[in-house]
Structure 1
Amino acid sequence: MPDQPVSPSQPTPPTPRRIVVTGASSGIGAATVELLRAEGHDVVAVARREDRLEEVAERTGATYVVADITSDDDVARLVSEVTAAGPVDAVVNNAGGALGADPVGAADLDLWRRMYELNVIGTFRVVNAFLPALREAEGDIVVITSTAAHEPYEGGGGYVAAKFAERVATRTLRLELVGEPVRVVEIAPGMVHTEEFSLTRFGGDSAKAAAVYDGVPGPLLAGDVAEAVRWSLAQPPHVNVDTLILRPRAQAAYTKTHRVPSGAQG
């Protein structure tokens, strides 16, 4: 019998690819754009805020398209503009977010609806629109969910429900595309300290936003998640990273986080 390989295949040096990143105006999205551009990829940054996209583009050399993923017209225009300029090798679906932290029994259902529209319908509006181009390019779909997609926690009902749905739809897509030359990847971060996530969740209340990270020695940073995206995309074509969960060392679960008493850090 011929010798069988005894060690895993190694990722090949990156070949420049054309990659679309949504939610790219700040946080994980902006960090992902920066890291992929540093590796030589042609990146299209997508978000609603043109001023922030301009800053990202100027800093990284990415191109950008202003679009709201909750709008059918915007996504149709996005896909038309991007595909007219060349093939698309990967789409990183990062746009999303949490709104509020009320218990289920006191839920603001309008916020739940907005979270579902953004995290679930918006994500798959983008995925479905780019799928023909990704099939043609033998490309990759990356969906950045959350550890909230894997475990519930008090005060997170609406966000957990949306992220669970996003995760399950991603997994279903993976099943439905098996045998086709498209990879489907879920990346689920735990606590990530970015400038806007918690601030948005708590309606701009900076004290509540800061309290999320109080005493946590080393929450994840946006660049840590960006590296997970880069690594997943860099794997050989036969390797599909189905689900990658990453958390800070201090966080074992959403409800189990080590915190250092005030004044004890450093």
Structure 2
Amino acid sequence: MTTRHVLAGLDGSPRSESAAMWAAAEARRLGAPLRLLHVWPWLSGENLDRAEPGDLRPAALDALARVADRIRLAHPDLTVETAVRPDDPVDGLVAEAREQELLVLGSRGLGGFAGLLVGSVSLAVAARATVPTVLVRETAPVPDGDTAPPGEVVVGLDSGEPAEAVLAFAFAQARRRGAALRAVHGWEPLPAWAYAGMMPPPVDVPGQERTEAALLAEHLAEHRGRYPDVPVVEDVRLGGGTRAVLDAAAGAELVVVGRRERRHHLGMLLGPVAHAVLHHSTTPVAVVPHP
């Protein structure tokens, strides 16, 4: 049986090193080995045992070794492996992540709505990876599970189409962290049209909110039975899914969103909520693929 690793992509940037440290803490929680990977097309694909002119492999291996040593010092009981792959960064990361437990990448930016956090490689990988992919910004704290009080795990849900894989991942993450799970559903009344154009919808907001809350509770019931030790906060908000998740994410330990495994003529795409949360959240975000 193949061992499933937590895989962290490293590109030599401080943000990717922060992601590797976050991945190490996660691997320790999972009881899984950690694999540090650098992917770059200019790495020589031949003569792997010796450097050639212009070959970046020795420098990449040295950088990986430095990060690996830092992780081993912090987690002496953790198995840490390093590897380089000569490939397009997106293709290589997606390929290496198959059959692994989790993929962790760094993100960048200013945070909030003042700037964007995600680079083109991280965004493309999150849209294509077949395993849960976590994006971690450079300043994200790495929680110490032995001393730090647990925060919340926030999961964004559509009460009309909840994804079982997303819920299962979020509940398992909350249990491993000893954290509460906040299940967030943001909703908006559908607009009405008249001769004068779009008008505010004639909606009984309290009544509709009760309906949305009942749907959310119904979808959570099975997983609450499977994870009776996980405290659950059911959080229904008026204002749309993106704003609801981003507001709930402030101070959380992890945000979990889903991504449908469906193709577009432009390739694999993230949904609007996942795309916005990845760009604007300052909290680590896990993107979980689902049918």
Normalised-by-shorter TM-score class: 0.3 to 0.5
TM-score normalised per structure 2: 0.31
TM-score normalised per structure 1: 0.33
Larger Rg: 2
Greater helix share, structure number? 1
Greater strand share, structure number? 2
